[in-house]
Amino acid sequence: MAIHSTVTESKIQYRGDGSSLEMSEPNKFDAGNLRSEEMILNVGPQHPSTHGVLRLEVLSDGEVVKEVVPHIGYLHRCFEKHAENLPYNQIIPFVDRLDYVASMNNEHAYVMGVERMMGISDQIPKRVEYIRVLVAEINRIASHLIAIGTYGMDIGAFTPFFWAIRDREHILRLLEWVCGSRLLYNYIWIGGLYYDVPVGFEDRCKEFIQYFRPKVKELEDLLISNKIFIERTANVGVLPLNLAINGGATGPMLRGSGLRFDLRRVDGYSVYPELDFEIPIGEGMVGATGDCWDRTWVRVREMEESLKIMEQCLHRLTTDHRRTVEFDPQALLPKKIRPQAQDFYIRAENPKGELGFFFRADGKSDIPFRCKVRSCSLVNLSLLPEISRGVLMADLIAILGSIDIVLGEVDR
Amino acid sequence: MPDMEVDKVIAFASERQIILKKAEGISIPPTLVVDAKDLVALSESLHRDKAFYFDQLSCVTGLDNGPEAGTMEVIYHVYSIPFNQSLGLKVILPRDGATVDSLCGIWKSANWMEREVFDMYGILFNHHPDLRRILMPADWEGHPLRKDYQQQETYRQIKVSS
């Protein structure tokens, strides 16, 4: 009783009443107006196969999905509002938290945009650019491992998840060695890098490539060419190319539908024009082009291409642009980040698709007037209702997993 | 990416009795200001025409210039995959009762992006198939990215501001 009396009435923040049971985000379909065979089924927001806090309102007829309505916003952290109150360099940690399994890629896109606005993008030393591409590609592999591993688990294959997470652990340790944290790096800075890579990092990366190459093959044997996996994913959730383009799909989603389109090649930003890599596309090897299997297959092939890019970066970093005593990655950091007044849209190829940043600089302050994120996960997810009409409930989970969303980026 | 020849677009639009102006200041990709009533007609012809073929709508950005300026903007970034060209289309709207026609009939990706602009700025999109809030809860008060936004004190008995 003594404890209770110390809690005064005003300190109780929340008291349940009738309104507590109302949904803050009401259903789109009215349960009263359904036909007798229809049913509204709620999936998420707390559900392992929704990959985060995503709620799907499913209008079903028995086991057949008639309509899906995604409800998002459960992880909305007001990135764009924060960005209107922060200087450009202090936004970088927030950018990390968008797609939190591929932070290096987010930073790379953002930093590139600010550098181009300031007109210093051609002064960045080659070594800095190669390190940026190297860490971004390592992170791309980590992101694809998560995508493939969790996708396997979504449709019932438990082992590939552990194998993928085991290999991802090596990557996280490499990146932790580079910048001190495992997920949210704040490593790529405007005009340079936080630090040079640690001594011996190149050798560990080479060891990782040697270790990981056979593991990709192993993962492929275990999951991608597995009969059960093919049965579950081939001809499921087929995204035709015209719908993919019209719906704004990018990344493995668009390439899975058969278009050889990769912004690393199309826009040729950073040092990607100097690097040799292939752009894998879905060819409908086991089913129709653009099905869930194709999208997963593209991700596996992309991991191999990323390994190739890593090898080339490491070669350049140990020969032409090798480590020197006087090299300082912070040498070119601008003292004052104040781009001239302009509207600027930058886009880059993230593991999940086209990540875009729109800036409006007013030329008078270090704070962007507007910073908008064009999120690839959001646009890819908006195609889910289109490709999951009339599929079975179990296939809906397979389709959602193959889109590879990260809710941090969907909701921002 | 080759630079978009905006003069070609302006000439193309004037054949269709649509007046376009270049946006003031620097904008990358090049941006044209279009009247709100002409937006759908222009987008439709830019999407269909063989010389431009803007087949992808990359980004829809809302923007509030504040109560002094009294205007809001919606900026559409369109991209043509076969010609590898980007173009920005800007619509300037009055701050009170900002309304613009939806582009959902042309690009499917407009659906959620326009919902987000509505959610954050309160700009209405005519003929949008499903204009609901997307990121904020349905019973949230106000539109957070407007410059004169005042945060509500409590949301369902929970204190909002710290």
d(CA A51, CA A73) in angstroms, rounded, equals: 14
Whether the pLDDT of residue A116 is over 80: the answer is: yes
β-bridge partners, A357: A346, A373
pLDDT band at residue A1 under the 50/70/90 scheme: very low
pLDDT band at B23 (very low <50, low <70, confident <90, very high): confident
Residue A332 vs residue B110, higher pLDDT: B110
Per-residue pLDDT at A196 exceeds 90: no
Looking at residue A51, its pLDDT comes to: 80
Report residue A145's pLDDT band, with 50, 70 and 90 as the boundaries: very high
If contacts are CB pairs under 8 Å, which of residues 73-132 in chain A contact chain B? 73, 76, 78, 80-81, 84, 116
pLDDT category at B2 given cuts 50, 70, 90 is: low
pLDDT(A3) > 70: no
Whether A44 has a pLDDT exceeding 80, the answer reads no
The distance in angstroms from the start CA to the end CA of chain B is 46
Q: Which residues of B touch A260 (CB under 8 A)?
A: none
What's residue A245's pLDDT? 92
As a whole number of angstroms, the distance between CA A385 and CA A239 comes to 11
> What does DSSP say about strands B56-64 and B71-80: parallel, antiparallel, or unpaired?
antiparallel
Model confidence at A7: pLDDT above 60: no
pLDDT, position A363: 85
Per residue in B121-161, pLDDT tens? 999 998 999 888 899 888 888 899 988 888 888 887 778 87
- Can you tell me the distance from the alpha carbon of A384 to that of A99, in angstroms, rounded to the nearest whole number? 19
Specify the pLDDT at position A309.
93
For residue B27, give how far its alpha carbon lies from the nearest alpha carbon of chain A (Å). Answer: 4
* pLDDT, tens only, A258-271: 899 999 989 888 89
pLDDT for position B97: 84
Q: What is the pLDDT of residues A353-380, one digit of tens each?
A: 999 999 999 888 889 999 999 999 999 9
B71 and B94 in contact (C-beta within 8 Å)? yes
- Whether residue A221 has pLDDT greater than 50: yes
Query: Are B144 and A81 an interchain contact pair (Cβ–Cβ within 8 Å)?
Result: yes
Does pLDDT of A2 surpass 60?
A: no
Contact between chains at A73 and B57 (C-beta distance less than 8 A): no
Alpha carbons A311 and A302: distance in angstroms, whole number: 14
Distance CA A163, CA A175 (A): 19
Question: Is residue A288 predicted with pLDDT exceeding 90?
Answer: no
SS3 per residue for chain A: CHHHHHCCHHHCCCCCCHHHHCCCCCCCCCHHHCCCCEEEEEECCEEHHHCEECEEEEEEECCEEEEEEEECCCCCCCHHHHHCCCCHHHHHHHHHCCCCCCHHHHHHHHHHHHHHHHCCHHHCCHHHHHHHHHHHHHHHHHHHHHHHHHHHHHCCCCHHHHHHHHHHHHHHHHHHHHHCCCCCCCCEECCEECCCCCCCHHHHHHHHHHHHHHHHHHHHHHHHCCHHHHHHHCCCCCCCHHHHHHCCCCCHHHHHCCCCCCHHHHCCCCCHHHCCCCCCCCCCCCCCCCCHHHHHHHHHHHHHHHHHHHHHHHHHHHCCCCCCCCCCCCCCCCCCCCCCCEEEEEEEEECCEEEEEEEEECCCCCCCCEEEEECHHHHHHCCHHHHCCCCEHHHHHHHHHHHCCCHHHHHC
The overall average pLDDT reported for chain A is 88
Residue in the block written with tokens 């969303």:
A405
Nearest-CB residue to A73 (from B84, B86, B135): B135
The predicted model scores a pTM of: 0.90
Chain centroid to Cα B24, Å, comes to 17
- What token pair was written down for A30? 């009215």
Quick check: B77 and A259 CB within 8 A? Answer: no
CB contact under 8 A, A382 and B109: yes
A137 token code pair: 């590609």
Distance from the B37 Cα atom to the nearest Cα atom in chain A, whole angstroms: 23
Round to the nearest angstrom and report the end-to-end CA distance of chain A. 44
More confident residue, A91 or B10: A91
The pLDDT of A393-406, averaged and rounded, is 89
